[in-house]
Structure 1
Amino acid sequence: MNTLSEAPVVKGWCPGLYAPMQAADGWLVRVRPEFGRLTAAQALCLAQEAEQHGKGHITLTNRANLQLRGFSHEQALAFPARMQAAGLGLPDPAQEKRLALQITPLAGLDPICADDTLLCARLLKAGLLERDSLSGLPDKFGFAVEGGGICPVGALKADILLQTDRGAWRVACGAARSLPLTGPQAVQLALQLAEAFVMQNEAQRPMRNPHCGARLFAACGQGFAESADHPSAVTPPVLVGQILPTLYGMGVPLGSLTVAMLRACAHSAASGDGWLYLTPWHSIVLAGQKTQPLLHRFVTDLADPRLRVFACEGVKGCAQASVDVPALALQLAADIPVTTAVHVAGCSKGCAHPAAADVSIVAGLQSYALVRNGTAGDEPTCHESSFDAVRARVRAWAAEKTPKEG
C-alpha cells in the first residue's frame, strides 16, 4: 500500500490491446479506436465486453482510448481476437503498438479545422504501419495531428505533432519546430524524426526531454526553429453542451463510464451520424443530433466543476494508492470555481493528469502533499494532515486566483 514516503513503482508502459496490465481489481485491457472514433455498434460491443468479462467499469483516457477493468487473465488474452472482429484492433501486435496516434477530435466536423487534417492523419497512420523499424519506439511514444479550429493547436500532447499553421503544416518535436511544409511533407518528416529517435538511441522521449527535438531535426538534416523550453500546451477546450448546430458534447466525470452510460451514448449516436467522437479531455461528442442528448451521469453544463477535477482509480484499482481518490476529487469539486483545475492522485506518478494543474494533491493514509501550479510529481508546496485542511487550502488558493468583482 503506497504512502507519501514511498516512491511509486514506474512501469514505463501503458496497457495495449496485446499488452494487458495487472491491476488491483484484475487485468486492465485497452482499445485504441482509430482517430478516437467509435461506431455505435463498436460502443455496444465494448459495453458488452465490460459487462460480461470485466467489472462494468470503462475509463476514457487522456489519449482518447478506452480501458476496461477487472478482466481475468484468460479473458484479457482472448480480448484482442474479439476486438479484431469488431474492427477495433489489428492482427499484427507490432503494428498495433505503433499506432499511438491522436487527432483533433472535431476534424471533419468543425468547419474551421484544416480541411486536410484527416488526410494527414491517414497518411501518417499508413506510414506508421509500413515502418517496422518504428517498433523500436518506447511504448508511450505518441504522435498527434492538430488541425486547429475549436480545438486549438497545442491542446494535444504528443512526442511528435503535425500542426496546422496558416494554410501550411509544421512538425513539432520537443522544443523544436519545422519550417512550413505541405501536409505530405510534414508526414514524411514526422516519420523521419521517429526513425532518428530509434537510431540515435535517445534516452528520453521528446515529451520528457524537449531538447532532444533539436538533435533529431539535425540528424534528419532539416531546418527548424527552437524555443528555450518545451512549448506550453494551450488550455484544452471544454467540449460539453452545444458545440455547433447538431454537434453536442457530453462530459464524463473523471473519465469514468459505466456500461449503461456507454450503451446510452451508443443509442444516441445511432440517431445521429452513428459515431462517438472521443476526446482526451473526458468528453464524448455526438454529431447529427437534433437537440442535446440528456443522458444519465453525463455532464452537459460548462460550469459544472466536475469537468475540472482529475483523479486516478485510487485504492479500488491500483495497488500503489491507499485511499479512495475519486471520492476525494468529487468532494473537492464542490469547492472550486470554473477557473480552477484540481488533480487528486494516489501516488506521485499522477497517471490521470500528467500536466500541471492549479492544485495537485497526492493523497496518502496519514497526510496529503499539495502542489500549487504543478504536477503530482513536483516538490510539494505544503502538506496537510486532514482532508478538511486540504479543502480549506484549496478554497483559499482558488479564491486568490479568482478575479475580484468591481
Structure 2
Amino acid sequence: MTAASPVVKGWCPGLYAPMQAADGWLVRVRPSLNRISAAQARVIAQEAEGHGNGIITLTNRANLQLRGFSHTDTQDFPGRMIAAGLGLPDAGQEKRQNLLVSPLMGDDPTCAETTAHVADRMQQGLRQTEGLSALPDKFGFAVDGGGFFSVGSLSADIMLQAGAGADMWRVVCGSARSEDLTSEAAVTLALFLATRFVALGLTKRPLREASIGPDLFAESGIVHHALLPLPLWQQKPTVSVGPLIGASAGAYGVGVPLGQITPAMLQACAWAAEQGDGILRLTPWHTMVLAGQQDTAWRETLANEGLVITPNDARLRVKACSGVAGCAQAVADVGAQALDLARFVPPGRVLHVSGCHKGCAYPKPAWVTVVSGLHHSALVRNGCAGDEPLCYLPDKTAVSAQMQLWAKEEGA
C-alpha cells in the first residue's frame, strides 16, 4: 500500500486490545492519572526488552505504547501489568479511563487545589459508568487545573477546567463551555455529556467536530456559552523541558525525542526520578516531569542516553510517526529524516514529517509538513499532512535544501 491511500483505523491499542503493525503487535499502558513510579518504569522497560522489540512510545495521551510483541505475548501482557499496578482486571474499566490530568497537580501551588480530587472523581465516574465503553476508542477526557501549565494546555473531547473560585470548575465540550460549577456538578455534567454522546449514536468526536459540543449541552439543559479561541501561547506550554521554575520545588521536564523511548532511556529516567520523589509524570507533549530533585547531577546521564534536558533543543520542534519500520502505510524512515531536518526549524515552529497523508503524529497545522511518498515528498506550508502541498520534491537532499531556504527566510 502506498502513502497515497492510507487506511484510517479509528481506534487505539489498549491493554486488552492489541493492534497488529508492521513490526509486530502493539500494546498500550494507560497509567492511572498519567503517573508511574520508578519501579513501574523499570517493569515497562523490562517488558519492552524481554517481550517486544525495545521500542516504547510516549503518546500524545500520556500513555506508554510498546511495540514488536508476538500475539502470544500480548495475551499474557495484561496479567503482568495488573500485577505491577499498571492495569485494571476489568477490561471495560481499563478502556474507559482515557483521562489526561495536569502533570503537576498536587505539586504546583498555582494549580487548582482541588485538581487531584476532581481527577479522582472523574476517574471513578468513568470506571463506574459501564455504558461509556461504547465511546470511540480515541474519545478522551481531561482535568485541567492550570497553574504552571496554564488552563487550555490540555486538549480532549470533554474537559474540566479550573474556574475562577475555590472548587469551581467549568466543563468544555467542542465549541461550548458551561458556567463555573462546583466540582461535583462539573464531574456529573461531564459524565452526562459523554453518556448522551453514546445514546445519540454519534461517531464524530467533539475535539474534531466542535459543533457537537453545543448539541450535547442542549441535551443537558445546562446554560452554556460559546468557547472563545485560546491565544496560541496558551494552547501548549511554552516551557516543558528543563527547570520548571515557579512550578514546584525541584520540578524538571525531560524531553523524549519523537516520543520514542528505549528501555535504557526509561531505566535512566527511573533512576533520575529516585533522586527526587520517585515519580515520573507523563505528559501529552512527549515529556516527563520529575519533582523533588535536590540537584542536577542526573541530567548528564539522561543526556548521554539521548533524552532532551534543555528547552532550546531543536529535537523538540519536530514530530514524526513510526515510519516504515512500524507502519505498513509508510514508505520511509521519517523519524531519522525529522531529526536530520530539526536543525533548520526556527524556534517556536514545528516540523512534521509524516509517513502518509493521515498525519498521525501531529494532526494539527505545522510550519512545514513533509509527507513521504514512493517517488517524491510533498511539502505543505502551515497545514496538515492531508492538505494541498505547496510543492513536490524528488528526494531528501532536495527537501533539506528547501527547508534550509525557508529557515533563512525566517532569519533562522
TM-score, normalised to structure 1's length? 0.95
1:303-318 equivalences under 5 Å are: 303-318=312-327
Helix, strand or coil at the partner of 2:100: strand
Q: How many residues align?
A: 401
Name which of 274, 280, 286 aligns with 1:276: 280
Match of 1:255 in 2: 259
Kept after mapping to 2: 8 A contact 1:370/1:380: yes
Alpha-carbon separation, structure 1, partners of 2:175 and 2:352: 26
Inter-CA distance 345–262: structure 2 relative to 1 (3 Å threshold): same
Q: Which amino acid aligns with 1:274?
A: G
* Greater mean deviation of Cα atoms: 149-158 or 39-48: 149-158
Name which of 118, 136, 154 aligns with 1:138: 136
Inter-CA distance 132–56: structure 2 relative to 1 (3 Å threshold): same
Alpha-carbon separation, structure 1, partners of 2:267 and 2:117: 30
Kept after mapping to 2: 8 A contact 1:314/1:323: yes
Kept after mapping to 1: 8 A contact 2:29/2:87: yes
Match of 1:128 in 2: 126
State whether structure 2 residue 182 is matched by structure 1 residue 178.
no
Helix, strand or coil at the partner of 2:344: coil
Alpha-carbon separation, structure 1, partners of 2:347 and 2:321: 21
Q: Which amino acid aligns with 1:238?
A: V
Kept after mapping to 1: 8 A contact 2:24/2:69: yes
Alpha-carbon separation, structure 2, partners of 1:92 and 1:83: 13
Helix, strand or coil at the partner of 1:337: coil
1:388: Cα distance to partner? 2.4
CA deviation digits over 1:347-370, x for unaligned, max 9?
111111122211111111211112
Match of 2:236 in 1: 235
CA deviation digits over 1:169-226, x for unaligned, max 9?
1111000111111111111110010011011111311012100111100011111112
1:84-163 equivalences under 5 Å are: 84-163=82-161
Inter-CA distance 229–266: structure 2 relative to 1 (3 Å threshold): closer
Q: Which amino acid aligns with 2:150?
A: P
Alpha-carbon separation, structure 2, partners of 1:383 and 1:400: 19
Alpha-carbon separation, structure 2, partners of 1:312 and 1:199: 34
Alpha-carbon separation, structure 2, partners of 1:227 and 1:379: 29
1:401: Cα distance to partner? 4.2
Name which of 266, 270, 274 aligns with 2:270: 266
Inter-CA distance 348–238: structure 2 relative to 1 (3 Å threshold): farther
Helix, strand or coil at the partner of 2:181: coil
* Greater mean deviation of Cα atoms: 375-384 or 112-121: 375-384
Kept after mapping to 2: 8 A contact 1:210/1:230: no
1:313-392 equivalences under 5 Å are: 313-392=322-401
Kept after mapping to 2: 8 A contact 1:2/1:8: yes
Match of 2:309 in 1: 300
Match of 1:9 in 2: 7
Match of 1:223 in 2: 223
Kept after mapping to 1: 8 A contact 2:257/2:315: yes
Match of 2:34 in 1: 36
Alpha-carbon separation, structure 2, partners of 1:192 and 1:33: 24
1:7: Cα distance to partner? 1.7
Match of 1:201 in 2: 201
Alpha-carbon separation, structure 1, partners of 2:228 and 2:238: 26
1:162: Cα distance to partner? 0.5
Name which of 46, 49, 66 aligns with 2:47: 49
Alpha-carbon separation, structure 2, partners of 1:27 and 1:230: 38
Over the matched positions of the two proteins, sequence identity in percent amounts to 56
Alpha-carbon separation, structure 2, partners of 1:25 and 1:35: 29
Alpha-carbon separation, structure 1, partners of 2:123 and 2:286: 24
CA deviation digits over 1:67-88, x for unaligned, max 9?
1111100001110011011111
* Greater mean deviation of Cα atoms: 261-270 or 372-381: 372-381
State whether structure 2 residue 290 is matched by structure 1 residue 289.
no
Alpha-carbon separation, structure 1, partners of 2:61 and 2:262: 19
CA deviation digits over 1:201-255, x for unaligned, max 9?
1131101210011110001111111248899771334311111341111111111
Helix, strand or coil at the partner of 1:30: strand
Alpha-carbon separation, structure 1, partners of 2:162 and 2:383: 29
Alpha-carbon separation, structure 1, partners of 2:162 and 2:114: 9
Backbone CA RMSD of aligned residues: 1.7
Q: Which amino acid aligns with 1:176?
A: A
Q: Which amino acid aligns with 1:261?
A: M
Alpha-carbon separation, structure 1, partners of 2:14 and 2:153: 24
Kept after mapping to 1: 8 A contact 2:356/2:371: yes
Kept after mapping to 1: 8 A contact 2:6/2:329: yes
Kept after mapping to 2: 8 A contact 1:175/1:230: no
